[in-house]
């Protein structure tokens, strides 16, 4: 068989000549989605500002161990969410009009940054998060009943293991994507 | 986002949908649902960026550029499509037999295309669509010379795979 035959088979595929689906609903849905995204961003920003103001309002002059523990946990979570949002924005804003090779290079650079994050920033954040939890555990131990304290400890360990499993799965998936891109 | 050129976009959409869809189909192993999603993503991007089209190349080349980049972005979804054989009518045995052979060859082709690396897959799909090497060079960002060598190598690889199996 020659390549010409393969090309003919390819071009004579039945079923590939279809009437294009109506694009209007997609356009309308997309416009609605963009509007909703802007509203969500606004609501999230206002909530964030209110939370920060409230946080300082109630805790600014009452520095304590619980304050430190809670601060560490909340800060790590907020930074983690911020990193993910920024990352998604970067992916969405990639220049789709570049040539394939330039676009691939852009995508490789994105996944290399994600790799750096996964092996430097994220482990530090996980350590800080656990330090925050340990500080809180000290206070839980003092103020909670034994039964409830063990319940908190066990549920924390279980949720941390589950969380770690999903983070690891995501990192491995992204490393595989990076490898495929670099090899192609 | 452009909202000013609805007629222009509709014409482009009608004229280029099938080409885009077929390229996407090749990229996702003949999976029609995934190909439709990819084609839709492509045209969303075309719609969003239509005002940035500078007419340095033909609109077809420009759309193919967006298509191949959208296909590459699909890598993050980590999905493997699967080719499904269309149902054949049993009324004419000879016609059915010919059609069956054609479908089997197509299935083999899709499987062989999936074996290729990302760049090779994109290049061969553009070749199968009948694009000139100069146009492929423009879409991929490789030099014309480089594309010539690449196309020759991938053609050999694909022919060997389709003829002798994986």
Tell me which chain B residues have a C-beta less than 8 angstroms from the C-beta of A98. Answer: 65, 69, 141
Tell me which chain B residues have a C-beta less than 8 angstroms from the C-beta of A31. Answer: 1
Angle at A144 between CA A138 and CA A146, to 5 degrees: 95
Q: Which residues of chain B have pLDDT under 70?
A: 1-6, 78-95, 166
Provide the pLDDT for residue B1: 47
**Residue in the structure block whose two tokens are 């594309």:** B147
Q: Which two tokens stand for residue B130?
A: 């009948």
pLDDT at A126 over 60: yes
Q: Report the share of chain A in percent with pLDDT over 70.
A: 95
Q: In this structure, how many other beta carbons lie within 10 angstroms of the beta carbon of residue A134?
A: 11
pLDDT at A57 over 80: no
Q: Could you tell me the end-to-end alpha-carbon distance of chain B, in angstroms, rounded to an integer?
A: 45
pLDDT tens sequence across B140-153: 999 999 999 999 99
Provide the pLDDT for residue A33: 86
Q: Which of A68-77, A117-126, B101-110 has the lowest mean pLDDT?
A: B101-110
Q: Is the minimum CB–CB distance between A84 and chain B shorter than 8 Å?
A: no
Note the residue count of chain A.
184
pTM score, two decimals? 0.82
- The whole-angstrom distance between residue A19's C-alpha and the CA centroid of its chain comes to 38
Exposed, middle or buried, B36 (CB in 10 Å: 0-12/13-18/19+)?
Answer: middle
Provide the pLDDT for residue B2: 46
pLDDT tens sequence across A13-28: 766 667 888 888 888 8
CB of B116 closer than 8 Å to CB of B127: no
Tell me which chain B residues have a C-beta less than 8 angstroms from the C-beta of A177. Answer: 75-76, 78
Task: List alpha helices for chain A, DSSP H.
Answer: 3-11, 24-59, 65-92, 100-116, 122-143, 146-183
Q: Which residue of B has its CA nearest to A24?
A: B10
Provide the pLDDT for residue A95: 92
Chain A: closest CA distance from residue B106 (Å): 7
Q: What is the mean pLDDT of chain A?
A: 88
Provide the pLDDT for residue A101: 93
* Residue environment code for A42-61, b if the CB has 16+ CB neighbours within 10 A, otherwise e: eeeeeeeeeeeeeeeeeeee
pLDDT tens sequence across A148-178: 999 999 999 999 999 999 999 999 999 999 9
pLDDT tens sequence across B80-96: 666 665 555 555 566 67
CB of A23 closer than 8 Å to CB of B13: yes
């Amino acid at each position: 068989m020659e390549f010409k035959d393969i090309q003919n088979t390819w071009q004579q595929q039945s079923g590939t000549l279809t009437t294009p689906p109506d694009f209007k609903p997609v356009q309308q849905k997309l416009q609605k989605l963009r509007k909703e995204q802007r509203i969500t961003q606004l609501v999230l920003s206002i909530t964030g500002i209110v939370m920060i103001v409230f946080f300082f309002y109630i805790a600014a002059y009452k520095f304590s161990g619980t304050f430190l523990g809670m601060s560490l946990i909340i800060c790590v979570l907020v930074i983690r969410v911020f990193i993910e949002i920024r990352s998604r924005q970067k992916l969405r804003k990639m220049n789709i009009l570049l040539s394939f090779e330039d676009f691939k290079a852009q995508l490789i650079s994105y996944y290399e940054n994600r790799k750096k994050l996964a092996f430097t920033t994220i482990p530090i954040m996980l350590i800080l998060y656990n330090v925050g939890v340990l500080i809180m555990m000290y206070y839980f131990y003092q103020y909670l009943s034994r039964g409830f304290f063990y319940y908190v400890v066990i549920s924390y360990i279980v949720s941390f293991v589950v969380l770690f499993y999903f983070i690891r799965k995501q990192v491995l998936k992204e490393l595989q994507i990076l490898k495929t891109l670099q090899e192609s | 986002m452009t909202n000013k050129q609805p007629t222009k976009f509709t014409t482009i959409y009608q004229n280029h949908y099938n080409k885009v869809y077929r390229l996407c189909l090749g990229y996702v192993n003949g999976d029609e649902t995934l190909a439709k999603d990819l084609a839709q993503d492509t045209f969303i991007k075309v719609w969003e960026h239509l005002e940035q089209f500078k007419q340095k190349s033909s609109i077809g080349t420009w759309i193919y550029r967006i298509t191949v980049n959208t296909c590459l972005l699909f890598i993050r979804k980590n999905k493997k499509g699967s080719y499904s054989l269309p149902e054949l009518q049993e009324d004419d045995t000879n016609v059915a037999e010919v059609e069956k052979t054609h479908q089997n060859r197509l299935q083999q082709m899709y499987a062989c295309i999936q074996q290729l690396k990302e760049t090779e897959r994109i290049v061969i799909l553009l070749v199968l669509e009948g694009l000139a090497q100069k146009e492929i060079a423009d879409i991929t960002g490789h030099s014309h010379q480089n594309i010539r060598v690449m196309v020759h190598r991938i053609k050999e690889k694909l022919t060997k795979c389709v003829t002798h199996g994986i």
